[in-house]
């Protein structure tokens, strides 16, 4: 396809799938996705794949898929930037009337797309697929996920629906709103809740990954959880202030108690234990809260640097994914 090609008249669904070391599953994923997309009546489609700096043959696989299909647009990041950044890069370059983001390991079944599209055609701006149960995940992952969602929902200003991960169809408006958010530490499922618009949910049962293994190491999960907490709430910072007041108040009350005993009973024995306990308590609380402040400060520092969030080492030559919008190399 060339850049001079006119935009098709039928509404266009553009899928965005990040891929990191998915060589064993990507061809299967593409086949199933294409079968579903071609069956959608009165809709055209494009597919954007973002290779997140894979070290296996994922990029070669994607390029050979794109060579035989002009609707496929392959982008490749200069290194592994992580799922949320790869997905954001895909959202930046994707153009269409509806933008559908999904994982490329078949845990987000393409067969759910017709129902999501139907809801979008009814006028919803955000159609989130909500996972019911997570059979493929380990007990530890299920428990930590449950604990995380209940924790973040206690703190966050916007509700973050458990199970509504990054399998989501966005209208043009919702897509533009999401792309207008410049932050570096991205927790997309929270951002999707934050933008508002008309939203609906479609339940689905997530199968285990079709092949390969999860790229979300416990470290990456922990980082995502931190991004969620520190990007979506200032409660920990406020908590620091309140807890500091409580601890200081307790210290003052203890001092009054000691003075009273000294004045009225005169039985004060110099208490090494209570002294050391107080010191440790205060020291601990202060260190924890200095750490919390540090987390926010580090994020402010990262944002003020204003670095691009990612670089492409390969961008789709075919320009139909971006034909009706100005092209950007990075955000």
User: Residue 126 — φ and ψ, nearest 5°?
Assistant: -130, 115
For residue 279, count other CB atoms closer than 10 A to its CB: 10
Q: Counting contacts by CB under 6 A, is residue 215 touching ligand UDP? A: yes
Binding of residue 52 to ligand UDP (CB under 6 A): yes
Among residues 175 and 215, whose Cβ is nearest to ligand UDP?
215
Site residues for ligand UDP, window 271-330 (CB under 6 A)?
none
Written as one string, the DSSP assignment of 168-198 is: EEEEHHHHHHHHT---SS--HHHHHHHH-SS
Nearest residue (CB) to ligand UDP, 95 versus 209: 209
List C-alpha distances in Å: 56 to 24, 53, 244: 10, 9, 50
To ligand UDP, the closest distance from the beta carbon of 22 in angstroms equals 5
Binding at 82: pick from Mg ion, ligand UDP, none (beta carbon under 5-8 Å per type): ligand UDP
In the complex, what is the shortest distance from the CB of residue 43 to Mg ion, in angstroms, rounded to a whole number?
26
Mask 98-117, x = binds Mg ion (CB under 5 A)?
A: -------x-x----------
Distances from the Cα of 81 to the Cαs of 18, 24, 51, 184, 232, in angstroms? Answer: 11, 21, 10, 11, 21
The window from 195-203, 208-216, 274-282, 287-295 that contacts ligand UDP (CB under 6 A) reads 208-216
- By CB under 6 A, the residues from 103 to 122 that bind ligand UDP are 103-105, 107
| Residue 318 Cα distances to 58, 75, 327, angstroms | 19, 11, 12
The interface region with ligand UDP, picked from 93-101, 102-110, 269-277, 295-303 by CB under 6 A, is 102-110
Tell me the site size for ligand UDP, rule CB under 6 A: 17
Nearest to 34, CA basis, from 2, 72, 7, 61: 72
Phi, psi of 77 (to 5 degrees): -80, 155
132 close to 205: Cβ distance less than 8 angstroms: yes
* Helical (H) or strand (E) element with 294: helix 272-305
Site string for ligand UDP, 64-83 (x = CB under 6 A): ----------------x-xx
Residue 35 beta carbon to ligand UDP: minimum distance, rounded to whole angstroms: 19
Are the C-beta atoms of residues 63 and 130 closer than 8 Å to each other?
no
- Residue 315 is inside which H or E element, if any? none
- Minimum CB distance to Mg ion smaller for 85 or for 233: 85
What ranges make up the beta strands (E) of 52-145? 72-77, 98-101, 126-131
Closest contact distance (angstroms) between CB of 132 and Mg ion is: 16
What would the x/- binding string for ligand UDP be over residues 1 to 30, using CB under 6 A? -----------------xxx-x--------
Task: List residues near ligand UDP by CB under 6 A.
Answer: 18-20, 22, 52, 80, 82-83, 86, 103-105, 107, 209, 214-216
């Amino acid at each position: 396809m060339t850049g001079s090609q006119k935009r098709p008249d039928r509404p266009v669904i553009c899928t965005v799938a990040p891929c990191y070391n998915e060589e064993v599953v990507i061809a299967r994923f593409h086949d199933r996705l294409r079968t579903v997309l071609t069956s959608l009546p009165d809709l055209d489609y494009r597919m954007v794949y973002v290779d997140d700096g894979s070290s296996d043959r994922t990029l070669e696989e994607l390029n050979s898929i794109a060579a035989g299909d002009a609707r496929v647009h392959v982008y490749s990041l200069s290194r592994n930037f992580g799922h949320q950044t790869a997905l954001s890069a895909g959202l930046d370059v994707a153009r269409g009337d509806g933008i559908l983001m999904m994982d490329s390991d078949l845990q987000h079944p393409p067969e759910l797309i017709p129902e999501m599209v139907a809801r979008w055609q009814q006028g919803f701006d955000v159609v989130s697929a909500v996972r019911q149960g997570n059979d493929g995940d380990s007990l530890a992952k299920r428990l930590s996920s449950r604990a995380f969602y209940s924790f973040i929902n206690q703190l966050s200003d916007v509700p973050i629906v458990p199970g509504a991960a990054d399998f989501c169809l966005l209208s043009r408006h919702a897509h533009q709103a999401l792309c207008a958010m410049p932050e570096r530490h991205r927790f997309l499922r929270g951002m999707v809740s934050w933008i508002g618009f008309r939203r609906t949910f479609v339940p689905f049962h997530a199968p285990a990954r079709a092949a390969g293994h999860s790229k979300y190491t416990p470290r990456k999960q922990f980082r995502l959880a931190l991004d969620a907490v520190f990007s979506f709430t200032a409660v920990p910072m406020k908590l620091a202030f309140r807890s500091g007041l409580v601890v200081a108040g307790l210290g003052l009350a203890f001092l009054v108690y000691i003075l009273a005993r000294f004045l009225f009973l005169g039985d004060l024995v110099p208490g090494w234990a209570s002294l050391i306990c107080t010191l440790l308590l205060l020291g601990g609380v202060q260190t924890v809260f200095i750490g919390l402040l540090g987390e926010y400060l580090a994020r402010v520092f990262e944002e003020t640097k204003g670095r691009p969030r990612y670089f492409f080492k390969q961008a789709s030559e075919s320009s139909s994914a971006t034909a009706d919008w100005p092209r950007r190399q990075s955000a």
